[in-house]
Amino acid sequence: MSENTEAELNEEAASVPGTPQVAVDPADVRRVVLASFVGTTIEWYDFFIYGTAAALVFNKLFFPVGDDFLASMASLGSFAIGFFARPLGGIVFGHFGDRIGRKAMLVTTLMMMGVATCLIGVLPTYESIGIAAPIMLIVLRLVQGFGVGGEWGGAVLMAIEHGHSSKRGFYGSCVQMGVPAGLLLATGVFAIFSSMDDQAFLSWGWRMPFLFGVVLLTIGMFIRFQIAESPLFAQVQHKNDVSPVPILDVFRHYPRNVLLAMGARFAENACFYIFSVFVLSYATEHLGLEKRTVLVGVWIAAAIQIVAIPAFGILSDRIGRRPVYLCGAMFLAAFAFPFFWLIETGVVAVVWLAIVLGMIGHAAMYGPQAAFFSELFGTNVRYSGASIGYQLASPFAGGLAPLIATAMLEWSGGESWPVSVYLIATAGLTMISVWLAAETFNQDIGGDNIAGHDTTSSAT
């Protein structure tokens, strides 16, 4: 980030639309971006360890129905349930984020996620308390989903609304880096404990990644308490322009942008969970690969994404959000069949290559996404609008993806081609949505003069 003096920053702000017309110390910007990244990493660590455990453990300990397929479906179904709580979290926290402020919501969502994750780590299993065990697991999963539903909007807005308008793609992508960082941390921790013998791992080893969340929660809460409120939201408060009911204003003024954001989300979200969650059960149960082999592949891919996501975010600041996003969707459509062909070789290095390439294609969409979605809505409803567009697609795109893929695999007798067709369909929906959306990277986001407010022509 720039080392400009405060005077230079303010001079720069005065000349560029969409930048807060207030003194923003570059050190404060760095602090906010770091806090958003760290907090998002912790929240997604919490979210991802559940997905990993659902693919490897919960089918045995919480859903022992006597049939492997049904147990896997029940376990992945509990993973999907968390996604259905995310839109509600986005609506509730978006409302208060647009009414009260971004910072308070970030602290609340982090606490909610951390406590739920730690409680999962101490849950008794089905063998101990019967049906109460999966019920409590599902309740805690719903809490996780509710919390992460409100987290994303606040984290990206804190970064984007603090920073210089010519770097919104980069600042937003720094927050998006928290997703692969959380996946990296979650997969790495699980890889360590999954190397134990099966009896010890199923007895207590799987619990340790969840209990580790206590340490992360403490760190994240300390960091988030140190940051200041968004300057753009402070201006809205100063002008007394706070929306009384943000969600109503979102659907009154930006209904098309909500739908286009949802469509743009589909391929990104579905492909990500196929490459990071479904691949675990597919490669281990259907192809007989070692758990550790696939986990290491996901770990390598997540590490590469930490570099790829901000690179694509920076590129979107140069050439626009739409071309970068479209290229990512087109790549994933073309890669849908080769991904499974490479996995099915069973060669460790080739399996890793497949996961890495898939995640790079995902990064091309995820890098510009935070800025792209945020720029579609005015400041006084931005938390609600960006969260709703982002989270409403999550249950149907990401949450159901592993479940749909598992069902398709069973229907086809173990053939992967239906899953590839499914991924191509999601990519098609995303390409249409992004093509119809307005270009936003050069728009003023300081008020309500937002691309798509009066028109959403793709010719913008």
pLDDT in tens, 208-234: 989 988 888 888 888 777 777 777 777
- More confident call, 120 vs 36: 120
- Residue 10: Cβ within 10 Å count: 17
Residue 20 pLDDT greater than 90, yes or no: no
Task: Tell me what pLDDT residue 447 has.
Answer: 54
Q: d(Cα 299, Cα 310) in Å, to the nearest integer?
A: 18
Structure tokens at 431: 């390409």
Task: Tell me what pLDDT residue 50 has.
Answer: 86
Task: Tell me what pLDDT residue 9 has.
Answer: 36
**Model confidence at 15, in pLDDT bands (50, 70, 90)?**
very low
What is the Cα Rg of the chain in Å?
A: 21
Task: Tell me what pLDDT residue 216 has.
Answer: 82
One-letter amino acid for residue 459 of the chain: A
Structure tokens at 444: 């003023």
Task: Tell me what pLDDT residue 267 has.
Answer: 94
CA nearest to 65, candidates 130, 138, 121, 136 = 130
Residue 418 pLDDT greater than 90, yes or no: yes
Task: Tell me what pLDDT residue 457 has.
Answer: 37
What's the average model confidence in pLDDT over 383-400? Answer: 87
Structure tokens at 5: 């003096």
Largest CA distance in the chain: 68
- Spatial contact of 83 and 62, defined as CB atoms under 8 Å apart: no
> Residue holding tokens 């290229």?
327
Task: Tell me what pLDDT residue 100 has.
Answer: 83
Q: d(Cα 335, Cα 291) in Å, to the nearest integer?
A: 24
227-273, pLDDT tens digit by residue? 777 777 777 777 777 788 888 988 898 999 999 999 999 999 999 98
Q: d(Cα 103, Cα 106) in Å, to the nearest integer?
A: 5
CA nearest to 430, candidates 396, 383, 381, 384 = 396
291-341, pLDDT tens digit by residue? 888 888 988 998 999 999 999 999 999 999 999 999 999 999 999 999 999
Locate the domains of the chain by residue range: 23-231+241-436
CA nearest to 98, candidates 378, 376, 375 = 378
Q: d(Cα 150, Cα 160) in Å, to the nearest integer?
A: 16
Q: State CA 409 to chain mean position distance.
A: 25
**Model confidence at 1, in pLDDT bands (50, 70, 90)?**
very low
- Spatial contact of 377 and 450, defined as CB atoms under 8 Å apart: yes
Task: Tell me what pLDDT residue 56 has.
Answer: 80
Task: Tell me what pLDDT residue 13 has.
Answer: 39
**Model confidence at 448, in pLDDT bands (50, 70, 90)?**
low
- Spatial contact of 377 and 254, defined as CB atoms under 8 Å apart: yes
- Residue 242: Cβ within 10 Å count: 16
Structure tokens at 14: 């005065």
- More confident call, 267 vs 192: 267
Task: Tell me what pLDDT residue 21 has.
Answer: 46
Residue 170 pLDDT greater than 70, yes or no: yes
Residue 192 pLDDT greater than 90, yes or no: no
Task: Tell me what pLDDT residue 417 has.
Answer: 94
Angle between helices 132-162 and 348-374 (to 10 degrees): 60
Task: Tell me what pLDDT residue 446 has.
Answer: 62
One-letter amino acid for residue 64 of the chain: P
Alpha helices by DSSP H, 57-196: 58-61, 68-99, 102-120, 126-129, 132-162, 168-176, 178-194
One-letter amino acid for residue 219 of the chain: I
Structure tokens at 139: 């309740």
What's the average model confidence in pLDDT over 27-36? Answer: 79
Q: What percent of the chain has pLDDT over 70?
A: 90
Q: d(Cα 385, Cα 387) in Å, to the nearest integer?
A: 5
- Spatial contact of 323 and 437, defined as CB atoms under 8 Å apart: no
One-letter amino acid for residue 99 of the chain: R
- The pTM for the full model equals 0.80
Q: Residues 197-229, buried b or exposed e (16+ Cβ, 10 A)?
A: eeeebeeebbbbbbebbeebbeebeebbeebeb
CATH of domain 23-231+241-436: 1.20.1250.20
- Residue 403: Cβ within 10 Å count: 18
